[in-house]
């Protein structure tokens, strides 16, 4: 199964494409969709939407997983990320794909076994699970790979299989 993980943002949207079969996973591709900081916000959303459509065409994922939004201290930034996430979800749905959303604590739990794991712990586990020499860059791509790995582990669990 080809799983595309997405870490939404409006400056940087990370993506990670993995191949998962039984207990084996491998990284196919990772990277980021970026937009210039000084650009009109609606133009930035258009770039994200168009680039996401192209990515979905090229990657041909069987499943897509995205991080749920977490509004911390900066609500203004959260609103922009929410708008970015909206155009990403639209592109995914228009491609005829289902999308599964995971909370940050679920992603950490699935990879590290601890819902409050640090970023360093997540990167180390991602490296280990995919047999990589170093952590993927940028960090947004590494986060997206973790989201894809979370989906691979969650969608193949006995509980998920029993619920289908």
Domain ranges across the chain? 2-163
pLDDT in tens, 87-113: 999 999 999 999 999 999 999 999 998
Please say if 7 is a catalytic residue: yes
Q: What is the CATH number of domain 2-163?
A: 3.30.420.10
Of 19, 46, 68, 140, which residue is the catalytic one? 140
Please say if 67 is a catalytic residue: yes
Confidence of residue 85 (pLDDT cuts 50, 70, 90): very high
Q: How many CA atoms lie within 13 A of 41 on its CB side?
A: 10
Return the percentage of the chain with pLDDT > 90, whole number.
73
pLDDT in tens, 25-64: 999 999 999 999 999 999 999 999 999 999 999 999 999 9
Is residue 164 pLDDT above 50, yes or no? Answer: no
Q: How far is residue 81's CA from residue 13's CA, in Å, rounded to a whole number?
A: 9
Of 19, 51, 62, 67, which residue is the catalytic one? 67
């Amino acid at each position: 199964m080809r799983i595309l993980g997405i870490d939404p943002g409006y400056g940087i949207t990370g993506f990670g494409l993995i191949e998962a079969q039984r207990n084996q996973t491998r990284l196919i591709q990772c990277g980021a969709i970026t937009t210039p900081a000084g650009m009109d916000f609606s133009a930035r959303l258009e770039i994200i939407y168009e680039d996401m459509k192209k990515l979905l065409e090229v990657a041909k994922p069987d499943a897509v997983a995205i991080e749920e939004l977490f509004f911390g201290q900066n609500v203004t930034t959260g609103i922009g990320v929410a708008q970015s996430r909206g155009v990403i979800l639209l592109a995914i749905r228009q491609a005829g794909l289902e999308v599964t959303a995971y909370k940050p604590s679920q992603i950490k739990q699935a990879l590290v076994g601890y819902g409050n794991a640090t970023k360093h712990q997540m990167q180390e586990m991602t490296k280990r699970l995919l047999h990589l020499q170093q952590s993927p860059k940028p960090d947004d791509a590494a986060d997206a790979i973790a989201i894809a790995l979370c989906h691979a582990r969650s969608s193949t669990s006995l509980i998920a299989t029993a619920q289908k």
